Structure 1
Amino acid sequence: MRVLVVDDDPVQRRLLMRALAPLEVEVWEARNGKEALDLLRDRLPHVVLTDLHMPVMDGLELTQSLKAQDPLLPVILLTADGEREVRLKGIEAGADDFLNRPVDLAELRLRVKGHLERRRLQEKLEDLERTLLVLMRAVEAKDAYTAGHGERVARYALLAAEELGAREEEREDLHMGALLHDVGKIAIPDHILRGDHPLSEHEWRLIREHPVRGDEILGPLRAHPRLRPYVRWHHEKLDGSGYPDGLTEIPLLVQALSAADIYDALTSVRTYRKPLKPHEALEALEEEARKGKLSREVVRAFRSGLLRNRLLRA
């Protein structure tokens, strides 16, 4: 783990660096914000400890620049200013923490240690998410006809979500859930996924198990409770005819994913049929709504999103 110490006073830099020694981290040093940014061209540290008042570039400017590169990078501001206005400016710049001078070195170590542990956990979760996305691409690679399916479904679903007024954090969960919605297909044999022959009843049962398998794969994720509805329920229908749970009440954003999944399947090339035109695929979604399988509100939002983004002609 790497900690960057930024201070124009060499005595203070050495004091801070000695205080961090018990944490057994790699410590970098810089005399001002500009020097710090030059040092970080190749890679970022895990925590930044910076003085507020420095020549060339002060701590506020440095914090803003660092947050532009990585909004989650922890930045701790050191200042002798106890005024409320100074802290407000620091918060506005994106600072995560503050320490008053003269610095209590024991408190400094505890604060830095806490930020390092959170950063380490964040990186582990990011690695797990990246692994899952690689796994999803491996699923799509099993069948050339589904390449890019997850990305397209995510794009379509988000268009509908925006029309439905979904909050930013809801759209973020929907995006990840859409990318991973078919991850359970990794457990299905390749020859079944390719669909180049009539499937037996047993093979259809295996196909229909992929939402449950995906739910199980995502189980260890901290985000599992938020992503689970998209992965497990994207084949559910409002009339109870869907699978795997036969639901009759389905969240609107899950239905947005379902609509996007159907739309992309209908407008993509398949071995057994030609792709439908966008307006034909939308008519199929509207028929689903007329049959009580899909929310009319979701289909209207889906149509509106396509029109707004010029993916459908009025």
Structure 2
Amino acid sequence: MRVLLVDDEPLQRLLLMRALAPLGVEVGEARNGREALDLLQEKPFHLVLTDLHMPVMDGLELTQALKAQDPLLPVILLTADREREVRLKGLQVGADDFLNRPVDLSELRLRVKGHLERRRLQEELEELEKTLLVLVRAVEAKDAYTAGHGERVARYALFGAEELSASPEELKDLRMGALLHDIGKVGIPDHILRGDHPLTEAERAYIRRHPVLGDEILRPLKAHPRLRPYVRWHHERPDGSGYPDGLREVPLLVQVLSAADIYDALTSGRAYRAPLKGEEALEVLEKEAREGRLSQEAVWALRSGLVRKRALGPR
């Protein structure tokens, strides 16, 4: 892990570098914010520890510039100013933490260690997310008709969820759940998945296993409890006719995903039929809702979101 230390005082930089040595991190040095930004162009750092008062570019300007480039990069401001105004300005530009001068070196090490650990975990999750999305795209690549399906379903589902005033955290989980909702299909043979021949009952049963397979694939993730409803239950129906668990109480945002999934399937072309227009697909969804197989509120939210975003129509 690499820490960038930004301070115009050489002795202060030396003191802080020695204090960080027990952590076993690589430390880069800069005398002001401009030098720090130049160094970050050369190689990435996992945390920035910066003084507040410096020539050329001070700590507040640097923090603002860093957060514009990478909002998740941890930035700790070192300051002798204890006034509330200074800390408020730091928070406004995105500072993650503050340390008062003179610096308690033990506290410094603990704060830096904590932020670096969170950064490491975040990067690991990003890599895992990328790997999972590669798997999803590999599934979609098996059939030209499903290319981009996950991204489109996520976009439509978010349109609907916004109409229901979902929180930012719910939107984030919904987006990832929608992208991954068909990941279980990675375990289904290509000749079944393509559906270019009439499927036998055994083959249909195999396809219906994909929500359970997807649930098992995501089980090791820390986010599994939040993503599980979207992956396992996106084929559940309020009348109990869905699968794999035959639920009747299906979370509303999962039903929004279900509606978005069907909408994309209907408005996408297949070998055996032309795509429906957006209004035609919504009429199908509304009929399903009237007959109890979809939530009327979810279908209304999807329609409202698509209209608001001017996204009706075939892809």
Calculate the TM-score normalised by the size of structure 1: 0.97
Cα distance in structure 2, aligned partners of 1:86 and 1:277: 56
State the AA in 1 paired with 2:188.
I
Partner of 1:167: 167
**Equivalent residues in 2 for 1:91-240 (5 A)?**
91-240=91-240
Partner of 1:54: 54
Partner of 2:74: 74
Q: Which of 37-46 and 174-183 deviates more?
A: 37-46
Pairwise CA RMSD: 1.2
Cα distance in structure 1, aligned partners of 2:76 and 2:266: 52
Distance apart, 1:280 and its partner CA: 1.2
CA contact (8 A) 1:49 1:76 kept: yes
Please list every run of 5 or more consecutive structure 2 residues that lacks an aligned counterpart in the other structure: none
Change (3 A) 1:42 1:271: farther
Query: What is the DSSP-based 3-state SS (H/G/I as helix, E as strand, rest coil) of the residue aligned with 1:49?
Result: strand
State the AA in 1 paired with 2:30.
A
Distance apart, 1:113 and its partner CA: 1.4
Distance apart, 1:43 and its partner CA: 3.6
Calculate the TM-score normalised by the size of structure 2: 0.97
Distance apart, 1:42 and its partner CA: 3.8
Q: Which of 259-268 and 299-308 deviates more?
A: 299-308
- Alignment partner of 1:295 is 2:295: yes
Cα distance in structure 2, aligned partners of 1:312 and 1:110: 52
Distance apart, 1:117 and its partner CA: 1.3
CA contact (8 A) 1:195 1:271 kept: no
**Equivalent residues in 2 for 1:79-94 (5 A)?**
79-94=79-94
1:54-104 deviations in Å (ceiling 9; x for gaps): 111111111111111111111111111122222222122211111111112
CA contact (8 A) 1:259 1:299 kept: yes
User: Aligned residues: percent identity?
Assistant: 79
CA contact (8 A) 1:234 1:258 kept: yes
State the AA in 1 paired with 2:213.
R
Distance apart, 1:312 and its partner CA: 2.9
Cα distance in structure 2, aligned partners of 1:54 and 1:131: 42
Cα distance in structure 2, aligned partners of 1:110 and 1:188: 48
State the AA in 2 paired with 1:104.
D
Cα distance in structure 2, aligned partners of 1:163 and 1:122: 30
